[in-house]
Structure 1
Amino acid sequence: MTTMESTIFGKLNSEHRLQNPVFKDATKVPGRFGFRGELAIKFAPQVADEARPPEITCDQVMAYAQEGENGMPFFTGYLLSFGYLEMLVEALKDALLPEGKYILFCNNIDLLKKYTVKMNGSTFYILPIDEATVYNELLELLHLEKNDLKKLDTAGKLDAVIAKAMSFSANYPEITYEEGLQLMGPVRNPNENRPV
């Protein structure tokens, strides 16, 4: 059976980057290890041995890696701010592949705009998120029917998304990270409007 340690996830796990997993296991595809959860991209300063939650995370992550390979061919997730992309790339630098499919939904880009950004030799598809979940947005983007996936377990759903995502391509306007910083809107406070 495929273990986390036989993939790049072993390194990320040892760095305590894999947080709040919904799924962290081998999938139905031989040699594939999948992850759904949060990826810590900036840690809070640690005092003594106190465990603090990360300051910044990439949420609703779906990703996979193949046993014995160094990289992560597919990664998607939600960033509260496009500005966190640089930190995400730094956190994942050993895992990113030139041919990888990396789709990020950002809260503070124009709802009518979609971009591609190249960083560290990898291409990121940058899309707005319309108050929905990454999973729902991805199903729509990849033309996957929710009802077709309902009968599958978490591993099966992840495999189905990966199968479609790996052939995804789109000609969105290419911008630099610096241009993206100029275009992005203010960062929303994720705690506003929450009952106390």
Structure 2
Amino acid sequence: MTTTVAESPVAAALADTALAPLEAQGRLLNPVLKGATKKPGRAGFRGELALRFAPKLADEARPPELSCDQVIAIAQRGNAKLPFFAGYLLSFEHLKDVAEVLGEQLSPEGKYFLFCNNIDLLKKYQVAYNGATFHVLPIDEATVYNELLELLYLEKGDLKKLDTAGKTDAVADAALKFKASFEPMTYEEGLQRMGPVRNPNENRPV
């Protein structure tokens, strides 16, 4: 008699979506949401996307060397592409890492937003990379979630009663309708224009 191991709720929710390969690679870290949203067949993720893993020491799980933080993303069952992805990068140069990690999950029709700490606070760009278009926006003290609400004309008060999955659906649905165009820029131009990388630990209490 053989016994089968029951599939976890997370694995079941992510199965046959563009998030499943990222989960299998151990890249979906520190989630506040990782599983089904309120929309049929949709999975959502809010957390941290590991871009570069640190070398393993024995069985010790170490934090990634590089990550995309404050990620908000959705995926649809039966679709190998990510329709929506947003996240925070300390430096614009790591757009390349995001594009390479997401790789085959990217789509020319996808809505992808990267908020970068070292681009001009008055500028917004569109960067084509790896067959996808990234909307690159500045960020200083705000969060990706709050920046998206402002960009997509969503009222925080209207979403207050929703849980994390419901808020993710609301942001994603608005992002999928996003039509605005920003100044086109190549990745190489962005490297020339970006400012110095801020030390994320400065001004933190010891």
Indicate the TM-score class for this superposition, using the shorter chain for normalisation: over 0.9
The answer for the alignment partner of 1:177 in structure 2 is: 187
Which secondary structure does the structure 2 equivalent of 1:3 belong to?
helix
What runs of 5+ residues in structure 1 fail to find an aligned partner? none
**Is this contact kept in 1: 2:87–2:113, CA < 8 A?**
yes
**Is this contact kept in 2: 1:46–1:52, CA < 8 A?**
yes
Q: Does 1:142 align with 2:181?
A: no
Cα RMSD for the two superposed structures: 1.1
Which secondary structure does the structure 2 equivalent of 1:8 belong to?
coil
Q: Does 1:69 align with 2:83?
A: no
Q: Does 1:186 align with 2:196?
A: yes
Runs of 4+ residues deviating >6 angstroms? none
Q: Residue 5 of structure 1: CA displacement?
A: 2.0
Q: Distance in 2 between matches of 1:26 and 1:6?
A: 12
The answer for the alignment partner of 1:160 in structure 2 is: 170
The answer for the alignment partner of 2:135 in structure 1 is: 125
Q: Distance in 1 between matches of 2:193 and 2:59?
A: 40
**How many pairs align?**
196
The answer for the alignment partner of 2:52 in structure 1 is: 42
Task: Give a deviation string over 1:110-138, Cα, whole Å, max 9, x none.
Answer: 00011000001100000001310001000
Highest Rg: 1 or 2? 2
Identity rate, percent: 66
Q: Residue 47 of structure 1: CA displacement?
A: 2.5
Q: Distance in 1 between matches of 2:67 and 2:179?
A: 26
The answer for the alignment partner of 1:87 in structure 2 is: 97
Task: Give a deviation string over 1:28-53, Cα, whole Å, max 9, x none.
Answer: 11010000000001111223332110
Which secondary structure does the structure 2 equivalent of 1:93 belong to?
helix
AA of the residue aligned to 1:53: P
**Is this contact kept in 2: 1:89–1:119, CA < 8 A?**
yes
State the TM-score, normalizing by the size of structure 1: 0.97
Q: Does 1:108 align with 2:118?
A: yes
The answer for the alignment partner of 2:30 in structure 1 is: 20
**Is this contact kept in 2: 1:139–1:146, CA < 8 A?**
yes
Deviates more, 1:141-150 or 1:168-177: 168-177
The answer for the alignment partner of 1:7 in structure 2 is: 17
**Is this contact kept in 2: 1:103–1:126, CA < 8 A?**
yes
Q: Does 1:99 align with 2:136?
A: no
Which secondary structure does the structure 1 equivalent of 2:60 belong to?
coil
**Is this contact kept in 2: 1:5–1:11, CA < 8 A?**
no
